[in-house]
Structures are given as structure tokens and as C-alpha cells.
């Protein structure tokens, strides 16, 4: 039997932006493969294309050249609806700022993405309880984000990202808005959750100590992905 396709593969991806000064090349033939259960740190200076790479990997942007493969499926020419379906079912996102819906409780923030994907409410609620408990939030499920600490809010955001059992987790400075102590604890919980779920994760961070806890480190140089 052939080996399953990796959850994420970027092949010779290029991305350029038009500016008043002319065309700005950001990615120029970037290649990256993530295997199931692998956690990769993306450590690169600001302005080198880190967010662009994450946006392309998450199908939030289309490459100007090259291709993004999700579990072996080329996504570049898919319709917007098809790309949205892949994002909803196969990709989880965690950002520096939690972006929780303030009018909903922690539990509701985690079950809503599941219901949007067609999961029955009872099953969605059960999974939300399980995920929140795994992040130490038992007893906080019915609190709205405004009543949670920064670390608790980010734990809810990570639980939400994992709610639909994604193949891929993309995180952009997921603990960058937390103090050092809270950052370390939340990051450890994130790593444990990703490993336990066998998710392929690409995590952008400026923190070398956090990067060293991942399986490997990559950076961006002259528009290419290279070993860190």
C-alpha cells in the first residue's frame, strides 16, 4: 500500500504584492511539508513572509504560482466554497489574540464551529466539554470571554481550533500576548493536545525557547523555507 499523503505540502509557492513602489516578491518558490503528528516552529523576522506563508497554508490566500496540497489534494484552483469547506473541516487556526466571540460562553465558542460543520448539538457539546476539560477549564464553560483570564481565553481558542478534529493546526504567535509563566503553561498544553490528536502543526513564534520544544525549526530566507 502507498503511504498516505502528508496533511500539508507547499510546493514552489510564490506570492507577490503590488505596492506603490512596484511589485514586492514575498515568497519565491517556498517548499514545506508537514507530516501527521509533526510540530514545526516557524521562526523568521517580521516582514519576511511568515504571515503570508500561514495564510497560504490555511487557504486564506491563493499563491501566484506553485501549489498548496491538503492531504494530497491540490487547493489552488478549487472554488471559494470548496476551499472554505477544507478550512472548516481540515484546518484549525490559533492567533496571538484569541478572537473569541464575546457574546458567547466558552462552551458555545467551541461548539459553534462544530455545528457549522453539521455536527449535532449534543455531540458538539459533548466534544466541547471534553476539550475544555483537557485544557483545565472545567467549571469555566459557561463564562463569557470577558470573565476569563488571558490564559483561559487562549485555552478556549486552542480548544476551538481543535473542535473539528483538523488535520492541520496553524498558529501565529499563539502565546505572544501572555506573560512568561502563563505562556509556558499554555504552550505546553498546546503541544500535548496537538501530539495527542496526531495533528500536523505549524507554529510561528519569536520565542527561541518555545521553538526548541518543537520537532524542528524552519525559517524564511530570500522567499524560501530553509532549516532554522
Beta bridge partners of 92: 169
Beta bridge partners of 69: 9, 74
Q: How many CB atoms lie within 10 A of CB 120?
A: 10
3-state secondary structure of 26: strand
Could you read off the pLDDT of 88-123 as tens digits, one per residue? 889 999 887 778 999 999 999 999 999 988 899 999
- Give the separation between CA 137 and CA 156, rounded to whole angstroms: 8
- Give the separation between CA 69 and CA 7, rounded to whole angstroms: 8
Q: Considering the entire predicted model, what is its pTM?
A: 0.88
**Would you say 97 and 119 are in contact if contact means Cβ atoms under 8 Å apart?**
no
What's the N-to-C CA distance of the chain in angstroms? 34
Could you read off the pLDDT of 148-191 as tens digits, one per residue? 988 888 889 989 998 998 999 999 887 777 777 777 777 887 78
Amino acid at each position: 500500500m502507498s503511504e498516505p499523503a502528508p496533511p500539508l505540502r507547499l510546493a514552489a509557492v510564490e506570492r507577490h504584492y503590488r505596492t506603490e513602489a512596484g511589485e514586492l516578491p514575498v515568497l519565491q518558490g517556498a517548499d514545506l511539508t508537514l507530516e501527521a503528528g509533526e510540530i514545526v516552529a516557524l521562526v523568521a523576522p517580521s516582514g519576511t513572509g511568515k504571515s503570508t506563508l500561514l495564510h497560504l497554508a490555511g487557504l486564506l490566500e491563493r499563491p501566484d504560482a506553485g501549489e498548496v496540497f491538503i492531504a494530497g489534494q491540490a487547493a489552488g484552483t478549487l472554488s471559494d466554497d470548496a476551499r472554505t469547506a477544507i478550512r472548516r473541516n481540515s484546518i484549525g487556526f490559533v492567533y496571538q489574540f484569541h478572537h473569541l466571540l464575546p457574546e458567547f460562553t466558552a462552551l458555545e465558542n467551541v461548539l459553534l464551529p462544530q455545528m457549522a460543520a453539521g455536527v449535532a448539538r449534543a455531540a458538539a457539546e459533548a466534544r466541547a466539554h471534553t476539550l475544555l476539560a483537557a485544557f483545565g477549564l472545567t467549571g469555566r464553560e459557561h463564562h463569557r470571554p470577558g470573565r476569563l483570564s488571558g490564559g483561559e481565553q487562549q485555552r478556549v481558542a486552542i480548544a476551538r481550533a481543535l473542535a473539528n478534529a483538523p488535520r492541520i493546526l496553524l498558529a501565529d504567535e499563539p502565546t505572544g500576548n501572555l506573560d512568561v509563566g502563563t505562556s509556558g503553561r499554555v504552550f505546553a498544553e498546546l503541544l500535548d493536545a496537538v501530539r495527542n490528536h496526531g495533528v500536523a502543526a505549524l507554529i510561528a513564534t519569536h520565542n527561541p525557547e518555545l521553538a526548541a520544544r518543537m520537532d524542528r525549526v524552519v525559517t524564511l530566507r530570500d522567499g524560501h523555507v530553509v532549516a532554522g
